[in-house]
A and B are shown apart, each in its own frame.
Chain A
Amino acid sequence: MAAATATTETKTTGHTILRWIKAAAGWHLLLAVGGVVGLGWLWAGGGTERVIVFKVVASLLLVALTAVNALAAVDLLRLRHRGRVVSLAVNYLGFLFCLFAVMHRAGGFTGFNTLANNFGRALPFLFLALIGVAISNLGENPGANRKMVGRGITAVGGILFLFLAGLATAGRALVISLTDPTTLILFVALFPFGLFLWAIWRQPAAARLGAKNVDNEMLIGWAFLSPNFLGFLLFIAGPLLFSFYVSFTDWDAFGNANWVGLGNYGRALNLTLAPLADAAQRANEVLDVRVYDELARIRLFGRSYVIGAQDKLFWIALGNTLKFVVFAVPLSVIPALFLANLLNSKVPGMKFFRAVYFLPSVAAVVGIALVWQLLFNASVGYINYFITQITTFLGLTDPKIRWLSASDTALLAVVIMAAWQWLGFNTVLFLAGLQSIPRVLYEAATVDGAGSGRQFTHITVPLLAPTTFFVLVTTTIQAMQIFEHIFIVMGTNPAGPANSTLTLVLYLYQKGFQRFEQGYASSLAWILFAIIFAATLFQVQRQRMSGSGYDA
């Protein structure tokens, strides 16, 4: 009796499921047709895209949409599991797309701006909700009653919070935006996407379409990864590819772009060398001044030459950046290694010092740059005051350094500031590396009669190599991209006296966001990336070499 009922039930659900699957197939067919129509509209003069790349990308997307939906429809009708996978993907992406598009058109994203208006008054209720969560979850074994009360408080607090934070306003904005036909279509489309997503996902459909455990794990895997992966595609991988394309155009941030090939890269890297009749000859007599500016003069084998650069500032920026790296990296790594060794000698209060050294790396660069700007003040700043005190004490002449306003010391000032900020972070990294070296090795070395100097060179240095490598690489990468320190500390003229603090990223910022030569700025970014990559590879290579040397 019972078995018979079960069979009938299975039969009815089986029929319902089949109907659902057929309906989903129909829906995909509809989407495929929609793709074809969209393609026709795009090439029949519809759309307002001026840039051909966008048009091509849109066409490709539409073709893919048509093909994928057709595939989904056919496979679903044949009850193949591939159909389920494709259908789920399409419906999931379609649902997300419509959801975000509706949110976007209803001002849901730009609405973040007004959040600060209402957030303050809503905040107490957020705390109320949190208290509710605490009540229902804390303690060894919360009883059912306490759970109920806690959940109730959470619900009331949460609803009041959302309401006061502007949910009502957002809802009203949504309703108003639905009067726009496109938004309305997107909103309505949410329902079939959601509905078929649910219908094809659930267990009966999965069983009917022959889903195995592996298939389910794959689907769940992609579902879990999807928020991350979609964001990664849209906000990291996509922009990277786009940036690469833009670096070959003269894009100006307002959508006007012409293909210039390698022109941007050429403009940055173009150098020329011209011989001079004598060292004092004017550069414009030998250089094509329509293209080149004088960058530097050199003497080779008794002859004078002048180096001309098409973009002189790029080379100055590159030079300053390298100079900065050469000074800032050792200054923030070597003392760090030294301090880490001191901290590692098991002195009481080690944690306190570690915390103090780490402090600068927690602070906002903008804030500390403002502090250092005052410390570097040439007339009343503390640094010159200390120098005066020391020189007076030692009976030397006071150098009266003008720090930020002199072209030969401005970059040095930035080096000091940056090293100060990075030193503690590197110390903590070194300390962790040191602590991971087994004590036994040192004890054995002491037994063998090795002094602390030999212990350092024969145990600490080789075993710390991975940490040293990491510290060097990250500090170098950071130093290559120095921008914020300089932008703030140099005040109204970030490039500094005689462009002495113009670095690559600062130059990129000026080109890309002050003069809006974004194509050129993109090519600068890729050149910088190439340099960083090369520097990293160089260090990897050295690390490998020294590593193999140690093993042998």
Chain B
Amino acid sequence: MNSHKLRTAVKYLLVYAILIFFAGIMLFPFLFMLTTSFKEPKDTFNYPPRLLPRTGLTTMLDGEEVPLYDLEGDEGRKAYALVESNIRIGVFASIADPEQTWELPPIEAKPKGGFTNQEKTIFNGEEMLVYLITVDGREIEVVQVGQTARGRFVDPDNPQNEIMANVRLSQPMEQLTARPQNYQDVVALQGMDRSLTNTILVTLGVVLGTLTTSVLGGYAFARLRFPGRDNLFVLYLGTMMIPFVVLVTPMYQLMVYIGWVDNMVALIVPWIFSAYGTFLMRQFFLTIPKEIEEAAVMDGASRLQILWRIFVPASTPALATLTTFTFLYAWNSFFWPLVIINTGNTANHVLTLSLNVLRGRASDSPNLILAGAAIAILPPMLIFIFGQRFFVESATSSGVKG
């Protein structure tokens, strides 16, 4: 009995480990998008990559803002302010003991024998110039074996306390930050506010239009008898299989002919006649009992009244499913807007098009690009979090029943 319990526990642990692992894979790109969208521009190309946005700490020194670094000094590890960087430093090795080296500004090494007539020596098989440096009051003969750059750091509390250190290898003092300014920047750069409004309008139009035509058509297919109905329904089902790309070229030509190219109406009107939506509504309407309807007919209700008063309220799940499906389709569509709206006509851009332009214009600013991506991705995601049930139903209704 106990071993059984143990086995169950292990099994659960394993199941959760796998589920969490995959959840991590699914969530990580979104997490990365969000955190990067709040990063500062210079914080975006670090290696190793860092998830959270950070900003360097600074301090005021002599009226200037200078960055702080965490350095090992005479008084242990503490914060030092970088006051001067790119100081050229020579690396000098003792002639007597080549293992011993000093790093000094070149100015502190005196040429032995003067500038014009400097002494030379053979060091490691190479002829080199000899310098004199002063260490602890003694003069030592050295040669320059290398050169590097250093930063000059001072203790902000005690400006006399100075250290020289390699800036690139020093650890800057950082704290977590968030730069919401990225969102404002991307809106200003690419007019994302306009494209957001356009996307909302287009989505609204497509969803409302699709609901209207699908409810009317679905009712006709489900409940009204007329010659040709069933053949027509088969035709509708047939076109559901045809991929969008087959429609792209002729639809583009139709838009050219009507004069809708580069107009937002081309993003709405052609897409509100959905065979899938009609099919979905018909299937749902078929499940509503006929008796209710017949009673209403007896009472003299018109067909439109029956549809509006009985069928529409009774099919909220199907309507919600169709709404989410259409919403996602309209909000995320890219190929058709790319074909039909000019790249230059930003006033008519939807979010996906703005992103497409933005990625070229801001290719060196991942923080801006991902802020733009977040603007496009977050609204459907928020709606998803609140209406999860309908999303899942729209996924499954497209499949399992059909």
A449 at the interface (CB under 8 A from B): no
Contact, CB under 8 Å: B47 / A484 = no
Complex Cα–Cα for A453 and B280 (A): 37
Q: Which of A69-77, A147-155, A376-384 contacts B (4 or more CB under 8 A)?
A: A376-384
Q: From residue 38 to 96 of chain B, which have CB atoms closer than 8 A to chain A?
A: 45-49
Instruction: State the CA gap A217–B229 with chains docked (Å).
Output: 12
Question: Is B251 touching A529 in the complex (CB atoms < 8 A)?
Answer: no
Are A521 and B249 touching (Cβ within 8 A)?
yes
Known A358-B395, A375-B29, A381-B49; judge A525-B246 contact (CB<8 A). yes
Q: Is the CB of A425 within 8 A of B395?
A: yes
Q: How far is the CA of A368 from the CA of B18 in the complex (A)?
A: 24
Q: Is there contact, CB below 8 Å, between A429 and B355?
A: no
CB atoms of B201 and A240 under 8 A apart: no
Tell me, yes or no, whether B183 is within 8 Å of chain A by CB.
no
Considering the chains assembled together, what is the distance between the CA atoms of A141 and B227 in angstroms? 42
Number of A interface residues in the complex (CB < 8 A) = 108
Of A229, A351, A385, most B-chain CB atoms within 10 Å: A229
Q: A119 near B: Cβ within 8 Å?
A: yes
Q: Is B347 positioned at the interface, with any CB of A under 8 Å from its CB?
A: yes
Whether A528 contacts B243 by the Cβ 8 Å rule is yes
Is the Cβ of A424 less than 8 Å from the Cβ of B26? yes
Query: In whole Å, how far is A98's beta carbon from the nearest beta carbon of chain B?
Result: 16
Given A370-B359, A371-B373, A225-B400 contact (CB < 8 Å): no
Interface string of A187-202 (1 = CB under 8 A from B): 0000000000000000
| Distance between Cα atoms of A462 and B33 in the complex (Å) | 41
B391 touches A354 (CB 8 A): no
Chain B residues with CB under 8 A of A379: 47
A429 and B399 in contact, given A246-B253, A364-B377, A518-B253 (Cβ under 8 angstroms) = yes
From known contacts A112-B265, A528-B246, infer whether A228 and B225 are also in contact, taking CB-CB under 8 Å: no
B252 at the interface (CB under 8 A from A): yes
Task: Choose from A343, A428, A481 the contact partner of B244 (Cβ within 8 Å).
Answer: A481
Residues in chain A near residue B381, CB distance under 8 A? 359, 362-363
Task: Kindly state the separation between the CA atoms of A355 and B388 in the bound complex, as whole angstroms.
Answer: 7
Cα separation A243 to B374 with both chains bound (whole Å) = 37
> How would you classify the secondary structure of chain A's contact residues: helix, strand, loop or mixed?
helix
Contact indicator B273/A474 (Cβ below 8 Å): no
A234 partner residues in chain B, CB cutoff 8 A = 254
| Contact in complex: B400, A365 (CB < 8 Å) | no
- B221 interface residue (CB < 8 Å to A): yes
Q: Is the CB of A115 within 8 A of B264?
A: yes
A422-B23 Cα distance, complex, nearest whole Å: 14
Q: How many residues of B contact A (CB 8 A)?
A: 111
The answer to whether A116 touches B249 (Cβ under 8 A) is: no
The verdict on A466 contacting chain B, using a C-beta distance below 8 Å, is: yes
A526 near B: Cβ within 8 Å? yes
Chain B residues with CB below 8 A from A508, complex form: 245, 248
Are A370 and B355 interface neighbours, CB within 8 A? yes
Who on chain A is nearest to B257 by CB? A255
Interface pair A253/B253, CB less than 8 Å apart: yes
Comparing B104-112, B160-168, B327-335, the segment that makes contact with chain A is B327-335
Q: B48 contacts A385, CB within 8 Å?
A: yes
A368 to B380, alpha carbons, bound, how many Å?
A: 13
CB distance from A526 to the nearest CB of B (A): 7
The B-contacting residues of A in range 3-62, CB under 8 angstroms, are none
How far is B400's CA from A242's CA once the two chains are assembled, in angstroms?
Answer: 33
- Are B236 and A220 interface neighbours, CB within 8 A? no
Q: How far is the CA of A373 from the CA of B16 in the complex (A)?
A: 30
Assembly CA distance A229 to B272 (angstroms): 11
* A450 to B229 Cα, complex, angstroms: 50
Neighbouring B residues of A347 by C-beta, 8 Å: 12, 15-16, 19
* Interface status of A545 (Cβ within 8 A of chain B): no
Chain B residues proximal to chain A, CB less than 8 Å: 12, 15-16, 18-19, 22-23, 25-30, 32-33, 36, 45-49, 194, 197-198, 201, 205, 212-214, 216-217, 219-221, 224-227, 229, 232, 235-236, 239, 241-254, 256, 258-260, 263-265, 268-273, 275, 278, 303, 307, 328, 331-332, 334-335, 338-339, 347-348, 351-352, 355-356, 359-360, 363, 366, 369-370, 372-374, 376-377, 380-381, 384-385, 388, 391-392, 395-396, 398-400, 402
Task: List 5 A–B pairs whose Cβ atoms lie within 8 Å, in order of A's numbering.
Answer: A112-B263, A235-B271, A246-B249, A364-B355, A420-B29
Which residues of A approach B to under 8 Å, CB–CB? 104, 109-110, 112-113, 115-116, 119-120, 214, 217-218, 220-222, 224-225, 227-229, 231-232, 234-240, 242-243, 246, 251, 253-255, 335, 339, 342-343, 345, 347, 351, 353-368, 370-375, 379-382, 385, 420, 423-425, 428-429, 432-433, 436, 466-467, 470-471, 474, 477, 480-481, 483-484, 487-488, 491-492, 505, 508-509, 512-513, 518, 521-522, 525-526, 528-529, 532-533, 536
